[in-house]
Amino acid sequence: MLKEQYEKSLKTIDFLKNRMTIQPKVAIVLGSGLGGLTKCMEILDEIPYTEIPNFPVSTVKGHKGTLIFGRINQVDVVVLNGRFHYYEGYPMDIVTYPEMVFAGLGVKILILSNAAGGMNPTFQVGDIMLIRDHINFFGTNPLIGPNDDNLGPRFPNMSEVYSARLRKLARQKARENNIHLQEGVYLGVTGPCFETPSEYKAYFLLGADAVGMSTVPEAIVGVYRGMEVFALSVITDLGVVGQVMEATHEEVLQAANSAEPKMIQLISEMMPEL
């Protein structure tokens, strides 16, 4: 599977390399309702997925579907404006296709963002959570299949998926800019259902602080392809024992939008020191 995914990506990479006027070291994946980052960046080139050879197309409401080359705080970046979720029906090799492409373009740092439900009782809606580690509850893995040792190891080390260096930088920048930053473990599920009260409770007991429907597969492929990974969650609803909120997709988007300025500021402040 991986080999096929890689071979397919060569055409995409070739197309993008020919078109690129910058050589970004950083890739950013925008999560639910965080598309506002694109308004705060200098856009050099915005390409609809439909115009990129072999690139998948996204279907979910609130997700755009363009690949953007540009600058944030003077730093060259490539931005995935609309990710591919497993719950949409995409297989794992499509969900993680952009990461294969980023690696092929020479990207070294992968920044992931998402909306998540918080189980930690100290969390509030609108908080930003620095992901310290994850629990893969997808019941599958994007690296299943014959391995190509030229791409990455058969048994990748997962002891530090989320770069300690980048987490430290984020904490420092949050402090300097008075941004309240939570930190915790993200548990990734397939969705599309939000959790039952018992599921939120079970995930919290397992050691997770937040739960969401993305990020884990992308982070795994990021590590596999040798990128340094960093990820932030916006807490958009709470699954705290005894006070589970009934979230709708609209409420999730609204909460994500309200946290957006803080998230953008944090990422922007980190850029020059990446």
Footprint of ligand HPA on this chain (CB under 6 A)?
115-117, 191, 194-195, 211-213, 236-237, 239, 247, 252
In sequence order, what are the residues at sequence separation of 6 or more whose Cβ sits closer than 8 angstroms to the Cβ of residue 178? none
Closest CA to 133 of 99, 165, 108, 158: 158
Q: Considering beta carbons, is residue 195 or 269 the nearer one to ligand HPA?
A: 195
What residue is closest to ligand HPA based on CB?
Answer: 117
Smallest gap from residue 253 Cβ to ligand HPA (A): 9
162: DSSP letter: B
Q: Considering beta carbons, is residue 97 or 194 the nearer one to ligand HPA?
A: 194
Token pair 């980023």 is found at 102
Sheet strands (E) in 40-189: 42-48, 66-72, 75-81, 109-118, 128-136, 181-188
Smallest gap from residue 257 Cβ to ligand HPA (A): 13
Q: Considering beta carbons, is residue 109 or 213 the nearer one to ligand HPA?
A: 213
Q: Considering beta carbons, is residue 82 or 239 the nearer one to ligand HPA?
A: 239
Distance set, CA 20 to CA 16, 101, 208, 212, 226 (Å): 6, 13, 39, 33, 22
Smallest gap from residue 233 Cβ to ligand HPA (A): 8
Q: Is the bond leading into 121 cis (omega within 30 degrees of zero)?
A: no
Smallest gap from residue 120 Cβ to ligand HPA (A): 13
Smallest gap from residue 235 Cβ to ligand HPA (A): 8
